Chain A
Amino acid sequence: MTQIVEVDRGPATADRRLATADRRLAIEEAAARVIADPANSRVAARLLAEEIADEAAAHGVRSFSESVAATHAAGLVQDSLAAFVAAHAAELDALVSDEADARFEYFGLRTVYDRYLLRHPETRAVLERPQHFFLRVACGLSSSVADAAELYGLMSTLSYLPSSPTLFNSGARRPQLSSCFLLDSPRDELEAIYDRYGQVARLSKYAGGIGISWTRVRSRGSLIRGTNGHSNGIVPWLRTLDSSVAAVNQGGRRKGAACVYLETWHADIEEFLELRDNTGEDARRTHNLNLANWVPDEFMRRVEADEPWSLFDPKDVPDLTDLHGAEFERAYRAYEAEGRFTRRIPARALYGRMMRTLAQTGNGWMTFKDAANRTSNQTARSENVIHLSNLCTEILEVTSDAETAVCNLGSVNLAAHLLDGTLDWARLRATVRTAVRFLDRTIDLGFYPTPEAGAANRRWRPIGLGVMGLADVFFALRLPFDSPEALELSTRVAEEIALSAYDTSADLAVERGRHPSYGDTRAAGGVLHPDHYAGAAASPRWDALRQKIATTGLRNSLMIAIAPTATIASIAGCYECIEPQVSNVFKRETLSGEFLQVNRYLVADLRARGLWTRRMRDDIKRADGSIHDIRDIPDDLKVLYRTAWELPQKALIDLAAARQPYVDQSQSLNLFMAAPTIGKLSSMYAYAWKRGLKTTYYLRSRPATRIAQTTVPAAAEPPAACSVENPEICEACQ
């Protein structure tokens, strides 16, 4: 049974307000019936597009130039943008393609409407349509109509989207365009710590996600010479950071968010791992901060060998956080031999504790210090050290007290590059070239909330080009996520993107100059990122590129980072970054409400086989979005449409490891385990480390209990009692 919501438009003379109220209800109805038929998503989107157009028209906005005039009059955009648009009004207005709105799914358009379109400061009515918004973003990054048309063409086809801060702020009075900021640990002194709070607040205010290390700050019990007292360790400081981050509301759009990194040898590591627990003393908890472990190889080796691990007060070993690789190991062992440690514990006990935190909170991400530093283009000189990753664990850049690392991000929608049962490689390369040019431009156009951030970004000029919609590609090409063909395709995608990005950056170096610190990079010494991985640069294309770069240099020190794309993937209507689907039917919760999503590839397949019925929908819902145990579904579909919970996580790690040579920063790699145990987790993360991954992201698990479904007919439960005689039934009825 198909249920597409029919929209009764009523007589043309109907009362205007009533019509609007009716349309809103029709939108909600259609949106709520997406699970019955995914086509309802487009129905709802179309109605919403009409609604938006009417709302903007009420403020006199019909064309693009009118929208920029209106937002400028309201004080929302830069004078220079308004002047540029006024000067080229006719040409720019002609670029706008209203049919492009038909590409939106409801959730995508709703997200654009709720959070991205510029609104009148008092009436809160939107002053631009979705296509105006895309073109405004493009114009904010362009100096000619041709440039704007090139980027707008990618955005309106949902082929490439810049990150949210760029979408929010391009052309705005304060164009903060960067997604991520990475701050080195404050120095171990009161003034430095309070100075960091201020920096974090300023960066957070303009919609940046924060990564910050706390490794340099002394541990609990350490002597404070000035007062002859003892330190309470890092927890009270992090409580203050927690409150400060929660207090900063990013322009009313989303709450501030930060991740704190701590190196595994810090003596407060165990208390750090408890910060997100929901039991224990609340005065030692931080409910808003995310937590990540910055793990040296030496620790993982000792875990494997079941050896002791020494914990240090950073005050006693101040240089340890600035060392990596062999130098770190030498220093660490020497400090151990000198007996400088605060405590020693079995490495496995601490590793087990880390795994427990992951299972209990999803937090305490495992990121690997030595893999991050060993292969980075920025760490050729020993004084340049990567001390942490960012909020989403895809950025790895050098930081110091004076340099806050910054990254500008954007992602290619792979799903939009499908053509006749394969990827359109030529178009993918072209998209990458455009994307890199515009990402590079954001570095110069962006507003930097702190001088430390501006200084670092202009010196290193890193960008982070990522992807989204990999799962769509696999579904469309009918490749199971763990198949060898998927591995090969995914790796080739990464390699093509890296080759095109590097090549474009080399061209840009000729046009606009190398980045100022180019001489300090490994590339200057003839080593490119894939060269660190055996066999990864075997293609002659890399030799050619290496030769070209030897003469041109590079405009950007780092280029590839695979961000989670949580919001922009929903705008584009594709699966997030490199992730498998979480469920064939799931709900998204965001600030603008809850939305149902259903796997439209699966629905098309089931419909083609005459299997998409009300009963089938209920069966899939009752099975929590899995089709594994549904009898009528053929096996080929069951294999293709497994969820992240059903796929072997080893396959996800293998895909990420194969891609890593072409990802010179890192990847936001979520791992999924419905019912985690310490044993499974410790095996999984040890494997991720061994495969050379630089970082991992959330561990996603599922609740141990669940709500009783209200909209699925109650299954006739067998009235048999649970008893000693038939324990299996107890499992079955949970």
Chain B
Amino acid sequence: MLLDPGMDLTLRPMRYPGFYERYRAAIRNTWTVEEVDLHSDLADLARMSPQERHLINRLVAFFATGDSIVANNLVLNLYQHVNAPEARLYLSRQLFEEAVHVQFYLTLLDTYLPDHDERVKAFAAIEHIPSIRDKAEFCFRWIDSVNGLRRLESAGERRRFLLNLICFAACIEGLFFYGAFAYVYWFRSRGLLGGLATGTNWVFRDESMHMEFAFSVVDTVRAEEPELFDDELGEQVTAMLEEAVAAELAFARDLCGDGMPGMHAEQMREYLEYVADQRLARLGLPTRYGTANPFAFMELQDVQELANFFERRVSAYQVAVEGNVSFDEIF
């Protein structure tokens, strides 16, 4: 079974070809930081109100460390316990993507914050800014919850691991990051920070796949060991999401202050609750909030893009392509 302790090395026959397909699809969507033009954002930043500028600085400070935390958990916990070589292939790929995101946000920070001291402060935000520190502590607590767990023998140990996995997928990548992306798209809907939005499109795509991979691990474990998924686990997941919503909401209050046209902490609360419900539904749990999505601009992210190439790069191209020259295929 997927969570059995050990180091399975057998790829043929392959037990979980779906994981392998996810790995291959991820490779086809390779992007690099060099493709993103962030300098076009500087003129927008110069025009922003102090309130907007505060929001952006906080957001950048969160981005500065967010993906590194996810990468740490991947190496320390996920890779160790998800015991199928095809799944570990995906995780290796995910690790690379986290590295690209770290590089992207580092480049963002270097571009947005020309002052050296400001940059140092942004990285220190995780200790000094309460709204960022609280989110980080939430993450560290769940990393620590499986600390020292070398082998998943008992049902209790497996549940502890599942909670860690679900936390990083549903709460951190699936809620903290989704919250952060919403601010970016709010700017974008007003024609601002196109460079950040382009990179965010790509990060968002990657994060979506990370989350889906984690959920498909959960699906697999559920099919193999349904007894692990008892009521208590469900309650723990729901409580964990409530806590994550509260932490992200505190962050939103810090970012939005008294609010700006189209972006208030109260709207962000509705959005976070709406997203949290989606995570619960995906995990087969009852929804908790029943709140509707308040951000119409997020609808824009769900549909195909059709970029005018005069204006920016299209983000839709595939990296790997296969086959041989022939003249009689159907097209």
Q: Interface of A with B (CB < 8 Å)?
A: 21, 24-25, 28-29, 32-33, 35, 114, 209, 254-255, 257, 278-279, 282, 285, 287, 290, 303-304, 348, 351-352, 355-356, 359-362, 566-567, 582-583, 585-596, 621, 624-625, 648-650, 673, 675-684, 686-687, 698, 700-714, 716-717, 719-724, 727, 729-731, 733-734
A-facing mask of B6-31, CB < 8 A → 1, else 0? 00000001111111011001101111
> How many angstroms from the CA of A686 to the CA of B328 in the assembled complex?
10
| Closest partner residue, chain A, to B307 (CB atom) | A589
Chain B residues in 8 Å Cβ range of A687: 331
Top-10 shortest CB links A-B? A722-B18, A32-B296, A704-B28, A730-B18, A677-B323, A708-B208, A678-B323, A593-B191, A721-B223, A721-B220
CA distance A708 to B300 in the complex (A): 12
Q: A590-B311, A722-B220 are in contact. Are A678 and B324 (CB under 8 A)?
A: yes
Q: How far is the CB of B37 from chain A (nearest CB, A)?
A: 8
Residues on A with C-beta less than 8 A from B328 are 683
Question: Quick check: A257 and B298 within 8 Å, CB to CB?
Answer: no
In the bound assembly, the distance between CA atoms of A344 and B194 in angstroms comes to 45
The answer to whether A720 touches B223 (Cβ under 8 A) is yes
Whether, in the assembled complex, B154 has its beta carbon less than 8 Å from a beta carbon of chain A, the answer is no
Max chain B Cβ within 10 angstroms of own Cβ: one of A29, A355, A683, A705:
A705
A356, B321: Cβ atoms closer than 8 Å: yes
Q: How far is the CA of A266 from the CA of B296 in the complex (A)?
A: 51
Query: How long is the Cα–Cα vector from A199 to B111 in the complex, in angstroms?
Result: 31
Measured between alpha carbons, how far is A515 from B320 in the docked complex, in Å? 50
* Distance A567 CA – B261 CA, assembled complex (angstroms): 29
How many Å lie between the Cα of A712 and that of B293 in the bound state? 10
A683 to B309, CA, bound (A): 26
Residues of A within 8 A of B314 (CB): 362, 700
| A24:B261 contact, CB within 8 angstroms | yes
- Residues of chain B whose beta carbon lies under 8 Å from any beta carbon of chain A: 13-19, 21-22, 25-26, 28-32, 34-35, 178, 185, 188-191, 194, 201, 204-206, 208-209, 211-212, 215-216, 219-220, 222-224, 261-262, 275, 278, 281-282, 284, 293, 296-331
Q: Once the chains bind, are A596 and B331 in contact (CB under 8 Å)?
A: no
Total A-B Cβ pairs within 8 A: 265
Please, could you name 24 A-B residue pairs with CB atoms under 8 Å apart, sorted by A? A32-B297, A32-B299, A114-B191, A254-B311, A257-B309, A285-B34, A567-B308, A582-B304, A587-B301, A588-B305, A593-B191, A625-B304, A676-B318, A678-B322, A680-B331, A684-B331, A703-B205, A709-B301, A710-B293, A719-B219, A719-B223, A721-B216, A722-B16, A724-B14
- B22 in contact with A582 (CB, 8 Å): no
Inter-subunit contact B219/A701 (CB<8 Å): no
**Complex: how many Å from CA A352 to CA B321?**
11
Q: Are A587 and B293 in contact (CB under 8 A)?
A: no
CA distance A711 to B294 in the complex (A): 10
Q: Which of A209, A348, A678, A707 has the most CB of B within 10 A?
A: A707
Residues of B within 8 A of A25 (CB): 261-262
Interchain CA distance A108-B187 in the complex, whole Å = 21
List chain A residues, Cβ under 8 A from B194. Answer: 591
- Is there contact, CB below 8 Å, between A733 and B311? no
Check B296 against A705 for contact (C-beta < 8 Å). Answer: no
Q: Are A593 and B318 in contact (CB under 8 A)?
A: no
Give A209 to B18 CA distance when docked, in angstroms. Answer: 45
Q: Which of B303, B313, B322, B326 is A586 in contact with, Cβ under 8 Å?
A: B303
B13: which A residues are within 8 A, CB to CB? 724
- Chain A residues with Cβ under 8 A from B318's Cβ? 359-360, 675-676, 701-704
Q: When the two chains form their complex, are residues B29 and A705 in contact, meaning their CB atoms are under 8 A apart?
A: yes
Q: Are B303 and A593 neighbours in the complex by a CB distance under 8 Å?
A: no
In angstroms, Cα B142 to Cα A10, docked, is 50
Q: Given known contacts A591-B311, A717-B219, is B302 in contact with A586 (CB within 8 Å)?
A: no
Report if A583-B303 is in contact (Cβ < 8 Å); known contacts: A352-B325, A705-B29.
Answer: yes
Q: For A24, list chain B residues within 8 Å (CB).
A: 261
Additional pairs, 6, CB under 8 Å, beyond known A586-B303, A700-B314, A722-B216: A29-B296, A255-B311, A359-B317, A590-B308, A711-B293, A734-B22
- Asked, given contacts A24-B261, A621-B303, whether A680 binds B329 with beta carbons under 8 Å apart, the answer is yes
Residues of chain B with a CB closer than 8 A to A714's CB? 278, 281-282
Q: Could you tell me the distance between the alpha carbons of A477 and B330 in the complex, rounded to whole angstroms? A: 28
Contact (Cβ within 8 A) A703 B29: yes
Contacts of B206 in A (CB 8 A): 705
Asked whether, in the complex, the Cβ of A359 is within 8 Å of the Cβ of B261, the reply is no
A359: chain B residues within 8 A (beta carbon):
317-318, 321
Residues A679 and B326 in contact in the complex (CB < 8 Å), given A24-B261, A278-B32, A625-B303: yes
Whether A679 pairs with B323 at a CB distance below 8 angstroms is yes
Instruction: Specify which chain B residues have a CB less than 8 angstroms from the CB of A361 in the assembled complex.
Output: 317
Q: Are A596 and B189 in contact (CB under 8 A)?
A: no
B30→A279 contact, CB < 8 A: yes
Q: Does the CB pair A594–B188 fall under 8 Å?
A: yes
Closest-by-CB residue of A relative to B204 is A707
Q: Which of A567, A683, A684, A706 has the most CB of B within 10 A?
A: A706
Given A282-B34, A712-B302; A351-B308 close (CB under 8 Å): no
Q: Please determine whether A589 and B305 come into contact, CB atoms closer than 8 angstroms.
A: yes
